[in-house]
């Protein structure tokens, strides 16, 4: 039987209460031409078992990263998540908790966010971090708007190392934020002269490290050029595990750091949900978007936590808000904080070392293949190779035999035909010798 929560009598009573004779009258303002006069072309109702079978059949059409060799990256990375992370975040007091408007009954949630902020500040080498954002791309966009407020200038220069999805979000937000965006061409080898683009109208330079093609860069000279011109450097990190091995952006002079925290505690999940990171210098905290959790004491002198800064339009008048982001991905931030707490500083360093070692081995094996050229010589756990033909075609052929070979650059840059032979390949601690062997053999076969 179909499950219908309301009886005919229930419907009649509700319609009578609002003063209409039929449900159709509720749609009187919708033009006849826009109304559907036939049933939707969907399957009829079915039993729970039949629905589960149908959904299972659909799911089996996906080639998931957990059941096959996967070298996907380009902003979302496959990492091991300890079982304790999922166990803890599914506890009722975490899973059902909501925005901590009332600190007296939200101490657990507030403390989690406080600890999360501390972790992000330490990782990025910055002085203060907020209570997380939607994802890395929106954090990047908010960082640009923040730089505009701080400097009161109207131009942002986006490096060619910045992920194109992040660039698009920045351009979208800036279009309505009265900010001019200058986006540089894709920078494959880290050779762009971005300092030459800085002028007296520049609010910030946005540079990703590791870059979208995997290359590493010293941010210090660019930070110096920015500061000499009165601009800010926004550093973007899409692979947070890299901060276990690389110099943190704050130590290289970054003023704002925007990042993606998915790699810690959060699965790839077909692209989300994830958790955005944003940290900055203490002197810019008043222009930081989102929320900031702080530590205080109660009437009896006991340690407690509160929302110290809440500059979203949910809390204050819209014209005074620094952001309209209305969530802080709390459960994803919790997963991030638990995973990083389990690792600790030494564990994160070892994890980063495993990632780099796996990428080095993969790079060595792939570079030995005839027709494969390594594009960037310095990288963390992701690099780019040039193939003899369009990378997308080879990726499709390898997917047909159960290997996710990586992300073709043409998928990220469809309007740059010169990038069609490039393939972004990532390796993590989950990349096994057998998986590397499968990719090398599979690629050798399709290149023949």
Taking only the tens place, the pLDDT of each residue in 309-327 is 887 656 667 777 777 776 7
Q: Residue 404, CB half-sphere, CA atoms under 13 Å: how many?
A: 18
CATH number of 83-340: 3.40.640.10
pLDDT greater at residue 271 or residue 410: 410
| 3-class DSSP assignment, residue 375 | coil
Model confidence band, residue 3 (pLDDT cutoffs 50, 70, 90): low
pLDDT of residue 257: 98
Phi, psi of 334 (to 5 degrees): -65, -45
* Among 18-32, 86-100, 113-127, 375-389, the least confident range: 86-100
Per-chain mean pLDDT for the chain? 93
390, 410 in Cβ contact below 8 A?
yes
Q: Which residues pair with 46 in a beta bridge?
A: none
pLDDT score, position 235: 98
Pairing outcome for strands 291-297 and 155-158: unpaired
CATH class of 344-447: alpha beta
Q: Stretch 156-175: mean pLDDT, rounded? A: 96
- Structure confidence at residue 196 (pLDDT): 96
Cα separation, 340 vs 334, in Å, equals 10
- Every domain of the chain and the residues it spans: 83-340, 344-447
Instruction: Name the token pair of 446.
Output: 């399709």
pLDDT at 99 over 80: no
State the DSSP code for 273.
Answer: -
92 pLDDT above the threshold of 90: no
In contact, 144 and 202? CB cutoff 8 Å: no
pLDDT of residue 434 exceeding 90:
yes
Annotate 2-24 with DSSP letters as a single string: ---SS-HHHHHHHHHHHT-SSGG
Please tell me the predicted confidence (pLDDT) of residue 315: 66
pTM of this structure: 0.89
Percent of residues, the chain, with pLDDT higher than 90 = 78
pLDDT at 430: 97
pLDDT at 379: 97
Average pLDDT of the segment spanning 222-241: 98
What span, in angstroms and rounded, lies between the C-alpha atoms of 84 and 87? Answer: 5
Residue 53 has pLDDT above 60, yes or no: yes
Percent of the chain with pLDDT over 70: 97
CB atoms within 10 A of CB 58: 9
Give me the DSSP letters along 198-221: --TTEEEEEEESS-TTSB----HH
Over residues 178-222, the pLDDT tens digits come to 899 999 999 998 889 999 999 999 999 999 999 999 999 999 999
């Amino acid at each position: 039987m179909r499950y219908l929560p309301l009886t005919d009598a229930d419907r009649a009573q509700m319609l009578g209460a609002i003063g209409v004779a039929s449900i159709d009258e509720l749609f009187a303002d919708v033009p006849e031409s826009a109304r559907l006069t036939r049933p939707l072309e969907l399957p009829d109702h079915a039993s729970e078992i039949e629905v589960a079978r149908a959904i299972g059949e659909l799911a089996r059409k996906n080639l998931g990263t957990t059941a096959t060799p996967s070298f996907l990256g380009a902003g979302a990375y496959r990492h091991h998540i300890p079982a304790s992370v999922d166990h803890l975040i599914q506890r009722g007091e975490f899973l059902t908790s909501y925005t901590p408007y009332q600190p007296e009954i939200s101490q657990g949630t507030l403390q989690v966010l406080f600890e999360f902020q501390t972790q992000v500040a330490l990782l990025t080498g910055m002085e203060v971090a907020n209570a997380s954002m939607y994802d890395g791309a929106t954090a990047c966009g908010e960082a640009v708007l923040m730089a505009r407020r701080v400097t009161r200038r109207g131009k942002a220069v986006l490096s060619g190392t910045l992920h194109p999805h992040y660039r698009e979000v920045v351009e979208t937000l800036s279009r309505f934020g009265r900010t001019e965006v200058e986006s540089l061409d894709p920078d494959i080898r880290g050779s762009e002269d971005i300092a030459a683009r800085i002028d007296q109208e520049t609010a910030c330079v946005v540079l990703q490290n590791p870059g979208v093609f995997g290359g590493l860069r010293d941010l210090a000279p660019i930070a110096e050029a920015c500061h000499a011109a009165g601009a800010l450097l926004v550093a973007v990190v899409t692979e947070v595990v890299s901060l276990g091995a690389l110099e943190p952006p704050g130590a290289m002079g970054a003023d704002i750091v925007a990042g993606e925290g998915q790699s810690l505690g959060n699965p790839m999940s077909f692209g989300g949900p994830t958790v955005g990171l944003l940290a900055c210098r203490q002197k810019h905290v008043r222009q930081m978007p989102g929320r900031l959790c702080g530590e205080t004491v109660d009437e009896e002198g006991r340690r407690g936590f509160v929302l110290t800064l809440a500059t979203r339009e949910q809390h204050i008048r819209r014209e005074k808000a620094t952001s309209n982001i209305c969530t802080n991905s709390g459960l994803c931030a919790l997963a991030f904080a638990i995973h990083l707490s389990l690792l600790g500083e030494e564990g994160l360093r070892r994890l980063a070392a495993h990632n780099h070692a796996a990428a080095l081995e993969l790079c060595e094996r792939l570079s030995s293949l005839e027709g494969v050229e390594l594009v960037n010589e310095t990288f963390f756990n992701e690099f780019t190779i040039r193939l003899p033909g369009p990378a997308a075609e080879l990726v499709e052929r390898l997917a047909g035999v159960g290997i996710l070979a990586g992300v073709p650059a043409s998928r990220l840059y469809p309007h740059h035909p010169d990038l069609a032979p490039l393939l972004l390949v990532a390796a993590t601690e989950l990349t096994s010798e057998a998986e590397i062997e499968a990719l090398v053999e599979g690629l050798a076969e399709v290149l023949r």
